Chain A
Amino acid sequence: GAGVSQTPSNKVTEKGKYVELRCDPISGHTALYWYRQSLGQGPEFLIYFQGTGAADDSGLPNDRFFAVRPEGSVSTLKIQRTERGDSAVYLCASSLTGDGVTDTQYFGPGTRLTVL
Chain B
Amino acid sequence: AQSVTQLGSHVSVSEGALVLLRCNYSSSVPPYLFWYVQYPNQGLQLLLKYTSAATLVKGINGFEAEFKKSETSFHLTKPSAHMSDAAEYFCAVSEGNQGGKLIFGQGTELSVKP
Q: List residues of chain A with CB under 8 Å of any chain B CB.
A: 3-4, 31, 33, 35, 40-45, 48, 50, 55-56, 59, 91, 93, 95, 98-110
Contacts and interface: CB of A to CB of B under 8 A. Distances in A.
Nearest to A108: B43
Interface stretch (B13-21, B67-75, B78-86, B89-97): B89-97
Nearest to B49: A104
B106 interface: yes
Most buried by A among B32, B101, B107: B101
The bracket for how many chain B residues form the interface is 20 to 34
Given A91-B43, A107-B43, A56 B32 contact: no
A35 B36 CA distance: 14
B90 A100 contact: no
B78 to A, nearest CB: 20
Contact of B106 (A41, A103, A108): A41
18 contacts: A4-B43, A31-B99, A40-B106, A42-B92, A42-B106, A43-B44, A43-B102, A50-B99, A93-B44, A99-B96, A100-B96, A100-B99, A101-B32, A104-B46, A104-B49, A106-B43, A107-B45, A110-B43
B101 A101 contact: no
A45 B103 contact: yes
B42 interface: yes
Contacts of B63: none
B98 A100 contact: yes
B5 to A, nearest CB: 11
Given A43-B44, A91-B44, A100 B106 contact: no
